[in-house]
A = this chain, B = another copy of it.
Amino acid sequence: MPAKGNLLIGQSGGPTVVINQSLVGAILQAKKAKEIGAIYGALHGMKGILEENFIDLRKESASELERIAMTPASALGSARKKPTDEECARVFDVLKKYNIRYFFYIGGNDSAESTHIINEKAKSVGYELRCFHIPKTIDNDLRENDHTPGFGSAARFVACAIMGDNLDCRALPGVKINVIMGRHAGFLTAAAALARVYPDDGPHLIYLPERPFSMEKFAADVKAVHKRLGRCVVAVSEGIADENGVAIATKFSKEVDSHGNVQLSGTGALGDLLATEIKKRTTISRVRADTFGYLQRSFAGLVSAVDAREARTVGMLAVKEAVKGKEPSGSIAIRRKKGARYAVSYKRVPLASVARETLHMPDEFIAGTNNDVTGAFLRYARPLAGKLPVIGRFKAVKVARK
């Protein structure tokens, strides 16, 4: 029997458009559990815990909770703060003071690590705590998971953006470079490939952080596509790095957060650099670059239905496991069932197995040319992004010249 006590939940890291589905799923499930007293939300993640900045989630109406579930970006506020050992000790003072016996943290691998540290601390001081991480990241790079809540909707955004951009570049031909989020994992950049409908559709080239990026090879690739089709749409990850692992964008930004991550998003520097290099190295006159930026993770109203449903489910299941499960801690992982039809199962996994390290695109998803994805990736990603917009094209029967 788990201890009776209060619940605290927080959100961490970069927002997604379905992160509040997980939050609301957890709140609604908690409301059903008689073991749970107060349901507190920590404002801005760890920061809110350290400052005892909580709100009473039992005071929220069911209808407002459903509106919040559909609302992009962490409704409790987020933080990129990773607690130090000293801060972890302080977290316990707070958890004890408020009789928190159920702790949930929604986030990526950094958040899983924070949750793990807190859980280990709880164990070491014999404080009875049910402690669960709820997965979230548009990067899709959490271990143990087939994919992560947030990725499907971000992939949908990228696919719709590239679909339109491919048509734009077909209407006004040139070279178009699109910089897509993904520091170390190329899944989101790879999702650009979902935009293809006709054989000559872009993205014609896809560069992932999993493969070393060479400016010479890039320019040669672009030149070859442009020669063949008269245009070239490129999808490139913000995290591309050279053969020594040095990020191509590093020279342009030195800002780091408390996890030691360099700022890659929120600047157009990488796209502009790549466009300039293509102009320098080719004779192509129309070269443009767009950096999709924060729109990928927060655009209102663009959600993959599958993603929303799964995000809700992992939130619900985390609370269910915490209350009724055999293990007092863990993370809820999404596994894909074998078979032609898309279906998933959910599994509690140890916190340590999700924390810290991240997943990368497996080799079978990356084409041998290192500038594209494989059919296996498309089969993997298609059900996650959901049905994409219909695209038409003229049969274009030429009129004989007179």
Chain B residues within 8 Å of A11, by CB: 171
A394's contact among B55, B172, B265, B390, by CB below 8 Å, is which?
A: B55
CB distance A267 to B272 under 8 Å? Answer: yes
A168's contact among B54, B72, B79, B170, by CB below 8 Å, is which?
A: B72
Q: How far is the CB of A236 from chain B (nearest CB, A)?
A: 14
A167's contact among B161, B172, B271, B298, by CB below 8 Å, is which?
A: B298
CB distance B276 to A172 under 8 Å? Answer: no
Contacts A300-B163, A397-B56, A402-B98 given; indicate if A390 touches B288 (C-beta within 8 A). no
Q: Which residue of B lies closest to A300 (CB)?
A: B163
Query: Which of A63-71, A113-121, A239-247, A326-334 lines the interface with chain B?
Result: A63-71
Q: How far is the CB of A114 from chain B (nearest CB, A)?
A: 16
CB distance B70 to A392 under 8 Å? Answer: yes
Q: How far is the CB of A299 from chain B (nearest CB, A)?
A: 5
A295's contact among B17, B171, B261, B295, by CB below 8 Å, is which?
A: B295
A272's contact among B40, B61, B70, B268, by CB below 8 Å, is which?
A: B268
Q: Which residue of B lies closest to A303 (CB)?
A: B389
**Bitwise interface map of A from 265 to 290 toward B, beta carbon under 8 Å scored 1, else 0:** 11111011101100000000001111
CA distance A300 to B17 in the complex (A): 18
The answer, yes or no, to whether A212 is at the interface (CB within 8 Å) is no
CB distance A301 to B160 under 8 Å? Answer: yes
CB distance A294 to B176 under 8 Å? Answer: yes
Contacts A60-B395, A66-B392, A393-B71 given; indicate if A160 touches B268 (C-beta within 8 A). no
Chain B residues within 8 Å of A269, by CB: 268, 272
Q: Count chain A residues whose beta carbon lies closer than 8 angstroms to a beta carbon of B.
A: 93
A268's contact among B76, B80, B165, B291, by CB below 8 Å, is which?
A: B291
CB distance B71 to A170 under 8 Å? Answer: no
Q: Which residue of B lies closest to A23 (CB)?
A: B394
Chain B residues within 8 Å of A394, by CB: 41, 55, 57, 60, 64, 68, 75-76
CB distance A301 to B392 under 8 Å? Answer: no
The answer, yes or no, to whether A229 is at the interface (CB within 8 Å) is no
A73's contact among B171, B257, B388, by CB below 8 Å, is which?
A: B171
CA distance A170 to B294 in the complex (A): 13
Contacts A259-B272, A268-B289, A395-B59 given; indicate if A74 touches B171 (C-beta within 8 A). yes
CB distance A268 to B271 under 8 Å? Answer: yes
**Bitwise interface map of A from 73 to 106 toward B, beta carbon under 8 Å scored 1, else 0:** 1111111100000000000000001100000000
5 contacts between A and B (CB under 8 A): A53-B398, A60-B395, A75-B393, A268-B269, A300-B391
Known: A68-B394, A75-B394. 4 other contacts (CB 8 A): A41-B394, A72-B167, A161-B299, A272-B272
